[in-house]
Amino acid sequence: MADLIVLIENWIEKILLGWGANQELTLFILQTLGSVLVVIICFVIVIALIWVERKLAGRIQDRFGPNRAGPYGIFQSFADIIKIFTKEYITPEGASKGLFNIAPVLAMASVLAIWAVFPFAMNVIGADIHVGVLYIVAVGAFGILAILMAGWSSNNRYALLGASRSVAMLISYEIPMVVSLLVPVLLAHSMKLSVIVEAQYPWFIFSAPLATLIFVISSMAEIGKAPFDLLEAESELVAGYHTEYSGMKFGMFYVAEFLHQFTVGALITIFFLGGWTGPLAVRWPILGVVYFYGKSFFVYLVISWIRLSLPRIRIDEMLNLNWKFLIPVSFINLVAVAIADRVLIELDLDRWIYVVVMFGINILILVTALMIAGKNQKAVVREEFPPRPVAVPPGTKAK
């Protein structure tokens, strides 16, 4: 049985050629249809994810999630969308209209543009460019710019403060993210995402667990999820950089945030969990697509789980964590993995012994780093107070 994706592609191609289009135009239309399909799937996933997030948040926090709009509240997302569509756009006075209106579009565009280089299955990829990893990081930088635009053009002191704080955090956490992203590039010997996915036998989470950990932590800081969620610290800054946005413009920021979280899940899947690989994925590419989305959804759930369980950390503690712990550890990890990879390839060991040795080296670096970091902590002195007398009526002896 031939594969579903190839079948559909050939069928559309035959129809278009039958209508008299030449080969180039057919290819162009097929590619456009493919990208539109990916974008539509992204938006449908976001609609589902909004419901999942709120229901999951409710259940983890020991309450019901939304349960009014339909059975188990599954129509809650649609209710939210209708509400956002019907709200009025309020532009603050003194705001630069061009920048104010472009910022949400740019935030959404920068997240959607990352989906262009994802490998969904064997040979099913949007643009298999040679510098795929760098492209992802570069397009992420556009999102940071959108936040700065939004914060400044709102003509609101607190939005500007929130935007500056969040941009400072985002550009700081870009460094360990990029450096830990270089570890799969190193192990796969290429920057093309399709080569990275196909070189993962076994998955890179076993060969480079420290890089996985650093990437997960810095990605969670990049998307602004707890414990790094001071981008929208409601109790501190009203709503941060998107204070002045209402209606669909705020809706775009909202959707961009959910989509960014799912995209980070997809990135972790591609780089560390094997992408679309799995049993029988090479024979039937449609299974590869299913595995890819399934694994991304699983990572999304883990990130949501972490987010819903941890409180927020302070900005100075967060910057300390980044500059004093994550950056040195990620650099040392990169150097150690590079040396170990070269040495082990020269020794020409069996694949599984290689994985075990790399795992051991990573754990060694992590434990050493944690020990060094732990030594510098100021010892918390706990005084033992003598038992204080509780209030007793006068005349009786205090215990």
Partner 1 sequence: MVPVIIFVLSSLITLGAAVAVVTNRNILHSAFYLILAFVGVASIYVMLEAPFIAVVQVLVYIGAIAILIVFAIMLTRRLMSKDLVQVNAQWGWALFGAVGSFVVLGWIAYSVQWPVSVQTVPADSITLIGEELLSTYVIPFEIASVLLLAALVGAIIIGRERE
Q: How far apart are CA 277 and CA 262, in angstroms?
A: 19
Residues that bind partner 1 (CB under 8 A): 96, 99, 129-131, 134-135, 137-142, 144-145, 148-149, 152, 160, 164, 167, 171, 174, 191
d(CA 287, CA 387) in angstroms, rounded, equals: 66
Residue 382 C-alpha from the chain's centroid: 39
| Residue 72 CB partners (closer than 8 Å, separation 6+) | 55
Tokens of 269: 């899947």
**Contact indicator for 299, 273 with CB cutoff of 8 Å:** yes
327-347 and 157-188 helices cross at what angle (nearest 10)?
10
Q: Which sign does the torsion angle of CA 274, 275, 281, 287 carry?
A: positive
Torsion of CA 276, 52, 174, 101, to 10 degrees: 110
Residue 53 to residues 11, 50, 59, 203, 302, Cα–Cα distance (Å): 38, 5, 10, 28, 11
Structure tokens at 6: 């190839």
Answer whether 105's CB lies under 8 Å from 142's CB: no
What sign results for the dihedral spanned by CA atoms 331, 332, 335, 337?
A: negative
d(CA 243, CA 231): 11
For residue 370, what is the enclosing H or E element? helix 351-375
